[in-house]
Amino acid sequence: MAKYRPNNKLEKKILTLLQVLINTDDGEEDYDTTWYPNGFASNQISIGHDGTGSNDGAFRFLRPCIPNNAKIVKAVLRVKSGVNSTKRPVFVIKGLKEPASNTFGAGARPSSRTKTTATVAWTPGADWAINTWYESPDIKAIIEEIIKQDEYTGKALGLVIEDNGSPSNNYENIYDFNSAPANAARLILTLQPNVN
C-alpha cells in the first residue's frame, strides 16, 4: 500500500474579520491637536482637508487572531461612507507601532503616537455614495510590521488614515462606531497558515 504524502502546495486560507467594538476605539483628529471620539459632527469621521486643515481618522481593533507563523496574504480596511461625495481627497494609511495599542483620547491622540515605517497611499479617485462600503488598497505590509514586533501581544492593533496633501475642502465622511456598531470600520485579513 502506498504511503500517504500530504501535498504541501495546497493552500488553506483563513479569513478574519475585525471590527471596531467600542466607542473609544475610533474617532477623528483635527489639525494634529484635537481628538473627537464620535467624529466631528453627526457621528461621522472626516478624513482629508476641511478648508482649515488636515483631518485624520483612527481605528483600533481588538484581539486580532493571527496564528503563529501564519502568512498574511492580504489585508484591507473597509469604511462606510456617511454622505454622498464628489470630493477628491488623498490619504495615506499607517499603523500604530505599538505592541498592544491602547484606546484613543485627548492624551493619546494618533498624531502623538509612533507609526509604522510601512505606509500605503490611498486615493479613492471616484465619487462616494452614502451607506456604501469602500475598501482600501492592500495594507498587509503595515500589519506585518505591527505583528513582527518582538513585544507584540496580539491584544490590539491600531491604524490611522491620514490626510496626505488633499486640496482644500476635499475630504470624505465615514461613519463612526457611535453612529451604529454595524457602521464601524472593519479590518479584513486573509491568512495562510504555515504548511511546512
Boundaries of every domain in the chain = 14-192
The fold adopted by the segment(s) 14-192 is: Jelly Rolls (2.60.120)
Using the predicted structure, report yes or no on whether residue 151 has a pLDDT greater than 50: yes
Decide: 171 and 49 in contact? Cβ < 8 Å.
yes
Percent of the chain at pLDDT above 90? 79
The SS3 of residue 177 is helix
Residue 68 is predicted with a pLDDT of 60
Q: If pLDDT is split at 50, 70 and 90, which confidence band does 195 have?
A: low
Q: What are the phi and psi torsion angles at 146 (to 5°)?
A: -65, -50
Residue 171 is predicted with a pLDDT of 97
pLDDT (average), residues 129-154: 94
Burial class (CB in 10 A: 0-12, 13-18, 19+), 23: middle
Q: How many residues does the chain have?
A: 196
Query: Could you give the CA distance from residue 158 to residue 161 in angstroms, rounded to a whole number?
Result: 10
Residue 69 is predicted with a pLDDT of 65
pTM over 0.85: yes
Q: What are the phi and psi torsion angles at 131 (to 5°)?
A: 65, 25
Using the predicted structure, report yes or no on whether residue 91 has a pLDDT greater than 50: yes
Using the predicted structure, report yes or no on whether residue 16 has a pLDDT greater than 90: no
Q: What are the phi and psi torsion angles at 142 (to 5°)?
A: -70, -45
Decide: 171 and 121 in contact? Cβ < 8 Å.
no
Average pLDDT, the chain: 91
pLDDT (average), residues 81-105: 96
pLDDT digits (tens, 9 = 90+) for 39-87: 999 999 999 999 999 999 999 999 887 766 678 999 999 999 999 999 9
CA R_g for the chain? 18
User: Of 136, 80, 141, which is closest to residue 116 (Cα–Cα)?
Assistant: 141
User: Of 130, 120, 118, which is closest to residue 81 (Cα–Cα)?
Assistant: 130
Residue 192 is predicted with a pLDDT of 86
Using the predicted structure, report yes or no on whether residue 1 has a pLDDT greater than 70: no
